[in-house]
Amino acid sequence: MSKISCNIVKDMLPLYHDSVCSNDSKKMVEEHLSECDSCKSELDRIRDDIKIPKKEIEKNKIDGKAIKNISMLWKRSKVKSFIKGVMISTLLISFIILGYFLLFTWHITNVPIDVVEIKNVSELADGKIVYHAELTDGLSLNRIKYDMDEDGNFYLTPLRPIIKTKAQLPSSLVKGYDFFDIKRQEINRNGAEIKALYYGTPKDNILIWKKGMDLPKASDEIENMFQFE
């Protein structure tokens, strides 16, 4: 067995590593390697050198895939976020509209009855009850809700939105005469008898009329006011 120098082996190691040397050379290198740690570690270095780039390539492949995946994800998430955006804007607009409706137009809040003055309650020739209502806080009134309980108590409840606005006078709702047609309301409620009429809520109200109460006859002036009915 001929001893060969480390330098020769080291020259041959790349060929050996790539298995492109003759069998004789291969044998020779292997013999040397079994006895020479220096050349062995040189072979390891070559293997590592070659492995590392391979690893790098693998890594790059993975990265490339990852980039593709990310861009696909991004495209998908772009669509998603567009849909999300549309949904959020739609929701937001709905909330704004709902909020506006609740705050400015929904007739939610009752008018405290201590700012209400009811006077000149009288009876028209045809039996309708006429009264003069005035809200003294100068704020607008949106509508009057009609409610009747099982005992025949009828409530005319003045309502205004949460965001109160100044009354635009002249407004007959805020200050003026109004009438109440008992007979028509009884027909509307399938003949249920109205026994009392209140302005306000069951808890906070002013009595306008009660069964058995004798109301004065309306003046000609008031009678003329409601002639169109």
Annotate each residue in 183-222 with x if it binds Zn ion (CB under 5 A) or - if it does not, as one string.
----------------------------------------
Stretch that binds Zn ion, among 7-15, 59-67, 75-83, 98-106 (CB under 5 A): 7-15
6 binds Zn ion (CB under 5 A): yes
H helices then E strands: how many in the chain?
5, 8
Alpha-carbon span 210 to 182, nearest angstrom:
11
Is the CB of 38 or the CB of 188 nearer to Zn ion?
A: 38
CA trace torsion 90, 96, 101, 105 (10° rounding):
-150
169 binds Zn ion (CB under 5 A): no
Alpha-carbon span 47 to 25, nearest angstrom:
18
**Pair of tokens at residue 29:** 């290198």
Quick one: which of 138, 155, 139 has its CA closest to 195?
155
Alpha helix segments (H runs only) across 157-208: 182-188
Contacts of 204 (CB under 8 A, 6+ apart): 110, 112, 113
Stretch that binds Zn ion, among 9-17, 102-110, 153-161, 218-226 (CB under 5 A): 9-17
Residues binding Zn ion: number (CB under 5 A): 4
21 binds Zn ion (CB under 5 A): no
Stretch that binds Zn ion, among 39-47, 73-81, 118-126, 153-161 (CB under 5 A): 39-47
Calculate the CA 45 to chain-centre distance. 64
Question: Which member of 12, 28, 39, 174 binds Zn ion (CB under 5 A)?
Answer: 39
Least separation, in Å, of the C-beta of 11 and Zn ion?
Answer: 11
Where on the chain is the footprint of Zn ion (CB under 5 A)? 6, 9, 36, 39
